[in-house]
Amino acid sequence: MIVAAGTTLEDSGILSGLVAEYEASLAGEISVIGESTQRVLDLGRRRAAAVLITHAPEAEEAFVAEGLAESRQPFAASRFILVGPPDRVAVLSGMTPEEAFARIAAEQWTFVTRGDGSGTAAAEEGIWDAAGIEPAGAWYESTGLGMGATLQVAEQRGALTLAEEGTFLGAEPMLTLVGASLAPSNLVENPYHVILVTGAGDAARRFVEWLISDEGREALRRANQAVFGKQVFTAPEG
């Protein structure tokens, strides 16, 4: 069975922990593909993956509207954080996301965007829109890469970027970049949904049911502790 998921879940290490526990306890065999949300949904359209885990609600809702999903259910949530060189982050901390992005654009501080159709890229676009800014120019660079690789590019360029918290924490020991303590905002909330592709079959259905069950939520808690030592990806209540 093939599970396609956003690169943030793969790069952070959280999904591999969940899959390993599922395979060990229920004798299933799962192959994980890490891609941007746009590519994950394309895999679903081509029936090249049975289960999709993504974090771009509007794109997911369009997928469901096409009649391609047997179900779409909340799986977990994390948050996005603005990261960059310590001196720049010190200036931006305490601002709202919109204020921070407006300051970055005004100063033309180098900002690295994924620009790859990912949930992270969509969230970043939402912040620029809220700030009333269309970023362009030499200071705004697109990688077209996943979260882990984009963090490495930001590190090399001494740039700012919007990162999923779990992936940043996983890469943090190898980075000089630090996270900005921005004011709380729903613009940096990061909900993930698990989608069962229509016609995927019983094995895929069992995995989805396990992910959203009490047992799956407990496995997510254990995976968080193993990878981060704290809860970064939180399960929905219920």
CATH of domain 79-187: 3.40.190.10
Query: Given the DSSP bridges, would you call strands 31-35 and 140-142 parallel, antiparallel or unpaired?
Result: unpaired
Q: Would 2-77+190-227 and 79-187 be classified into the same CATH topology? A: yes
Over residues 149-181, the pLDDT tens digits come to: 999 999 999 999 999 999 999 999 999 999 999
Q: What is the model's pLDDT at position 176? A: 97
Q: Tokens 């009333």, residue? A: 132
Mean pLDDT estimate for the chain? 94
Token reading at 90: 């010190």
If one counts every other C-beta atom within 10 angstroms of the C-beta of residue 136, the result is: 8
Q: What is the model's pLDDT at position 191? A: 94
Does residue 147 surpass a pLDDT of 60? yes
Q: What is the model's pLDDT at position 70? A: 96
Q: What is the model's pLDDT at position 11? A: 87
Over residues 111-146, the pLDDT tens digits come to: 999 999 899 999 999 999 999 999 999 999 999 999
CATH of domain 2-77+190-227: 3.40.190.10
Residue 33 to residues 4, 6, 44, 143, Cα–Cα distance (Å): 5, 8, 12, 20
- Structural domain boundaries in the chain: 2-77+190-227, 79-187
Q: What is the mean pLDDT of residues 36-62?
A: 95
Would the pTM count as exceeding 0.75? Answer: yes
